[in-house]
Homo-oligomer: A and B are copies of this chain.
Amino acid sequence: MTIDSIVTAAMLAIGDELLSGRTKDKNIGHLADMLQLAGIDLKEVRIVADEEDAIVAALNALRPGYDYVFTSGGIGPTHDDITADAVAKAFGVPCEHDAAAMQLLGEMYARRDMEFTEARQRMARMPVGAAHIRNPVSTAPGFIIGNVYVMAGVPQVFQAMLDEVLPALRKGAPVLSLAISCPFGEGEIGAPLAAIQKAHPETSIGSYPRYVGQSFSTEIVVRARSQEPLEAAGAAVEAMIEEIRRAKAGQR
């Protein structure tokens, strides 16, 4: 495993159903979690419809800018599954029935005594030169071309395919994080927290309001790529919270 300091990724989620509200996406959050653990920075996500032009444009916008691009959706057997064709078009290569995928699927359907229909054969189509991503759930493979990883939209299959490809990805230094629960709203901590961020430039400090009942509290998350700056910024945040607490007690 090579450790580089920064490895970046983007995701392209494909499907009308994500934009109509029919399906609430689950793959973006899962990919975010898994890449975070691998020290790979997910920098951008796009969701587009099942429209070839939209897929090609988004893919060609994303793939030069990031180390990896992961797609979800549109690789099934029906007429609205056009991802393989769109990816091939983006790379300027033909999209054909892949011999190894045809054999894999043909054997699977034969074993299950099911007809290897023309629709099912669509799932063996991929850009010429693409490598398979194994699908341990339902056989039909995803594929890799260039830095683009094309995976299924069904969450169980997306997750299984991601598990298949993760070990071989280049990893970044893992991001360490510290979550500190703060009983005060962002309006009270905003100025001192900005000062702490300024004093600890090797960290990235996020503050996330939670609105419960009638009042805001905050979760403060400190992130860094090594332990020392993480702990220093964390201690500063704890001290800030304590100081506000004392000041409030003094006011009473």
Task: List CB contacts (< 8 Å) of A166-199 with chain B.
Answer: 175, 177, 186-191, 193-194, 197-198
Q: Do A43 and B23 form a contact, CB below 8 Å, given A188-B117, A188-B119?
A: no
| Complex-state Cα separation, A104 to B73, whole angstroms | 46
Q: Is the CB of A29 within 8 A of B21?
A: yes
Looking at A44, A137, A177, A198, the one whose CB has the most chain B CB atoms below 10 A away is: A44
For this complex, into which size category does the number of interface residues on chain A fall? 35 or more
Q: Is the CB of A19 within 8 A of B46?
A: no
Count the copies. Answer: 2
| Complex-state Cα separation, A180 to B45, whole angstroms | 31
User: Which single member of B16, B157, B207 contacts A78 (CB below 8 Å)?
Assistant: B207
Q: Is the CB of B208 within 8 A of A17?
A: yes
Determine whether A209 belongs to the interface, using a CB cutoff of 8 Å to chain B. Answer: yes
Query: Chain B nearest CB: distance from A22 CB in Å?
Result: 6
Q: Which chain B residues border A79 with CB–CB below 8 Å?
A: 190, 193-194, 197-198, 205
Looking at A16, A23, A118, A190, the one whose CB has the most chain B CB atoms below 10 A away is: A190
Q: Do A204 and B33 form a contact, CB below 8 Å, given A45-B46, A189-B78?
A: no
Query: Chain B nearest CB: distance from A242 CB in Å?
Result: 18
B-facing mask of A19-42, CB < 8 A → 1, else 0?
A: 111111100110011111000011
Q: Is the CB of A189 within 8 A of B45?
A: no
Determine whether A4 belongs to the interface, using a CB cutoff of 8 Å to chain B. Answer: no
| Complex-state Cα separation, A138 to B211, whole angstroms | 9
Q: Do A117 and B187 form a contact, CB below 8 Å, given A25-B29, A43-B49?
A: yes
Q: Which chain B residues border A76 with CB–CB below 8 Å?
A: 186, 207, 209
Instruction: Select from chain B the residue with minimum beta-carbon distance to A77.
Output: B190
Determine whether A80 belongs to the interface, using a CB cutoff of 8 Å to chain B. Answer: yes
Q: Do A154 and B77 form a contact, CB below 8 Å, given A189-B119, A191-B118, A223-B20?
A: no
Q: Which chain B residues border A50 with CB–CB below 8 Å?
A: 206
Query: Chain B nearest CB: distance from A137 CB in Å?
Result: 7
25 A-B interface contacts by CB (under 8 A): A16-B204, A16-B206, A17-B221, A18-B28, A18-B32, A19-B45, A20-B42, A20-B177, A21-B33, A22-B206, A25-B28, A44-B47, A44-B48, A44-B54, A45-B46, A46-B47, A79-B190, A80-B207, A114-B187, A117-B188, A117-B190, A119-B186, A119-B187, A119-B191, A138-B211
